[in-house]
Amino acid sequence: MLERVKGPEDLAGLDTAELTALAAEIRGFLIEKVCAVGGHLGVNLGVVELTIALHRAFRSPHDVLLFDTGHQSYVHKILTGRGAGFDVLRRNGGLSGYPSRSESAHDWIENSHASTALSYADGLAKAFQLRGELSDGSGDPARRHIVPVIGDGAMTGGLAWEGLNNLAGAADRPVVIVLNDNGRAYAPTIGGIATHLGGLRAEPRAQHLFTDLGLAYVGPVDGHDIAATEQALRAAAALGKPALVHVLTTKGRGFEPAECDEADRMHAVGVVDPHTGAPIKPPKKSWTEVFGEQMSAIGAERSDVVCVSAAMVLPVGLGEFARRFPERVFDVGIAEQHAVCSSAGLAAGGLHPVVCVYSTFLNRAFDQVVMDVALHKAGVTFVLDRAGVTGPDGASHHGMWDSAILSVVPGLRLAAPRDPARLAELLREAVAVDDAPTVIRFPKAVAGPDIEAHTRMNGVDILYRAAGRPLDVLIVAAGVTASTCLAAAEELDRLGIGTTVVDPRWILPVNPHLTHLADRHRLVVTVEDSVRSAGMGTALAQACADAESTTPVRVMGLPQEFLAAGGREEILEGAGMGVGDVVATVVDGLQAGPRIALEAVPELLEIPEVSQVAETAQIPGTAPISDVTQPPGTTTQLPETTQLITTVRTTNGEARQARSSPRH
């Protein structure tokens, strides 16, 4: 049947038996392809029949189908001719895991964050009405229907209710809202809306809020019955007024491992066995798992520490904490704004809340971070999973903006651990702050080995100092970029360039000691896995300027553009963040920058040690920065070339050439 369906128009002539066979083939296709490459499985298995019915009842793309959230659009992609792309799903140059306007005219929006579709639908309805194109219930084929498909989990988000409020109040703008009710976001849906929908399933004729708001209500209907669902959709479209079709589906339907998964019905998977659902390879410990272990330990140490999640208790690593301290975990639904504001209230009540979200999801609550937490000097800790480049989820999920956005928040402190030991250390330092917001960021990646410091100077970890060489370049590494910076330092040492690599641990605001270290070097290069503008590097450059330091600062980071999906290392290399790029940036900067004699730099002022930070032992044989000497007026000799080509080893061991250029 899949061979016969090249587009939505091919569904029209199929009878009931053929539609049933098609649904079974699609479900088998999803299990085979998604288990092979990873992606959102359970949620798409649950919308097979619903999506077929949608494409039979409406004429996409003339009629507008909006999927909220976009991870439930896989069947839509198959029915609109993109099935061949599932072999490279969520890979560089491959099929997006969410709706993508560049892929197909059938995708109107690229919404991978929840609770947005009703607002999009409201705007489109207003636009189509003004242009005389909106459907009016007359059956005129020239007019267009707008059909947002929203999951019950997404209805826990405040934005969904803002959109619903406007849609329900416009009786002359018919929009068909499809409520896909499977009782879950990741875990079971929580709150009053979940209770209300449960009541409607039990007693469809009961008075309910949708009709009270002014919407026509159709349902509940079995979302796995194609004919019944199609009939309900057509009936709603003929009403000529805003209507809600309540569709009941089962997440993970047709795949026993998913149906038996109580955690999240195999919502999203990596590469797994298509028969058992078990991972093909034993997974290595992730940053999320390390955080979960440390958070659970802190919970045992401090009864005032509580955790807040926006419908993602398990994905953000709070499973063990929730098992041990269920009364101290608050899942507020897909409602980041509420999560942050509620946490300010928790802090005001004498507790220390830890808000655990994906990095890009905190963007939605920036106003609350500023006005409800920072302004009130509330002791709230934010833990940002999936910071930096995330990989296969693509542009909407790369946590590229948190450093830049949060850098303007008064009093906020932002930390980036380079390894598991530093995550444990920094998390404890963060929850010890009770009069300001603190933030910990880490990537979606395997947690690598610990990188021990040679010494700690006023809160800054010295990771590398080239023995016997002058102070040519200070490389400031943010979090997990430390391993790249250390590999670059070794290559620079082979080139005769004296390198110091430091990890400030708390990357914002700038530790004053960094400006003094900058003064001791000829060049500063900062490396961070977030956008270059307004992050750690920009802040350090400004701090150096304010301190009247003459040392130039070069900032390396992600470009200010939306990055596509792909492997994490692949994306970082493509964005100019590899070992060779750091080497080239240093060489460029030294060739272009001033030659400053060491003795011309003022003596370092003593800076009080950061409280509660223990010094680490000096490694024997490593010259501390204060002991390095060089003859007055001398500098490191660089090759007499305008470009330097070197062979370096990348973090995965592959040899590549790096050519110096003014790219940073």
Task: Look at 609 and 38; give whichever has higher pLDDT.
Answer: 38
- Indicate the SS3 state at residue 302: coil
pLDDT score at 425:
97
Mean pLDDT of 89-110: 87
pLDDT tens for each residue of 197-248: 878 877 766 667 888 888 999 989 999 999 999 999 999 999 999 999 999 9
The candidate with the shortest Cα–Cα distance to 553, out of 532, 573, 574, is 532
pLDDT score at 593:
61
Does the pLDDT of residue 1 top 70, yes or no? yes
pLDDT score at 617:
34
Burial 292-314 (b: 16+ CB within 10 A, else e): bbbbbebbeeeeebbbbbbbbbb
**Of all residues in the chain, what percent carry a pLDDT higher than 70?**
88
pLDDT score at 156:
86
How does residue 102 score in pLDDT terms, banded at 50, 70 and 90? Answer: confident
The candidate with the shortest Cα–Cα distance to 441, out of 339, 288, 294, is 288
Task: Look at 120 and 616; give whichever has higher pLDDT.
Answer: 120
How does residue 195 score in pLDDT terms, banded at 50, 70 and 90? Answer: confident
Lookup result for tokens 């979302």: 223
The candidate with the shortest Cα–Cα distance to 372, out of 330, 411, 343, is 343
Tokens representing residue 523 in the block = 């060049």
Question: What is this structure's pTM?
Answer: 0.81
How does residue 594 score in pLDDT terms, banded at 50, 70 and 90? Answer: low
Q: How far is CA 398 from the centre of its chain?
A: 5
pLDDT score at 458:
93
Does the pLDDT of residue 628 top 70, yes or no? no
How far apart (Å, rounded) are the C-alpha atoms in residues 221 and 234? 13
Mean pLDDT of 139-153: 91
Mean pLDDT of 430-434: 97
How far apart (Å, rounded) are the C-alpha atoms in residues 305 and 612? 19
Mean pLDDT of 285-310: 96
Mean pLDDT of 359-386: 96
Active site residues: 251, 336, 364
Mean pLDDT of 595-606: 36
- Number of helices followed by number of strands (H, E) in the chain: 22, 22
pLDDT tens for each residue of 499-538: 999 999 999 999 999 999 999 999 999 999 999 888 999 9
Beta bridge partners of residue 245, listed in sequence order: 178, 218
How far apart (Å, rounded) are the C-alpha atoms in residues 318 and 357? 11
Does the pLDDT of residue 643 top 50, yes or no? no
Range with lowest mean pLDDT among 27-41, 263-277, 401-415, 615-629: 615-629
- Indicate the SS3 state at residue 369: helix
Does the pLDDT of residue 661 top 80, yes or no? no
Tokens representing residue 313 in the block = 């208790």
Does the pLDDT of residue 120 top 90, yes or no? yes
Range with lowest mean pLDDT among 133-142, 175-184, 482-491, 588-597: 588-597
Mean pLDDT of 74-97: 89
Show contacts of 252-258: CB within 8 Å, 24+ apart: 252/41, 252/42, 252/45, 252/46, 253/27, 253/45, 253/46, 253/48, 253/224, 254/24, 254/27, 254/31, 254/45, 254/48, 255/27, 255/31, 255/41, 255/42, 255/45, 258/41, 258/42, 258/45
**Of all residues in the chain, what percent carry a pLDDT higher than 90?**
62
Does the pLDDT of residue 660 top 50, yes or no? no
pLDDT score at 574:
87
How does residue 653 score in pLDDT terms, banded at 50, 70 and 90? Answer: very low
Q: Tell me the pLDDT of the chain averaged across its residues.
A: 86
Range with lowest mean pLDDT among 110-114, 165-169, 511-515, 600-604: 600-604
Q: Where are the alpha helices (DSSP H) in 451-496?
A: 482-494
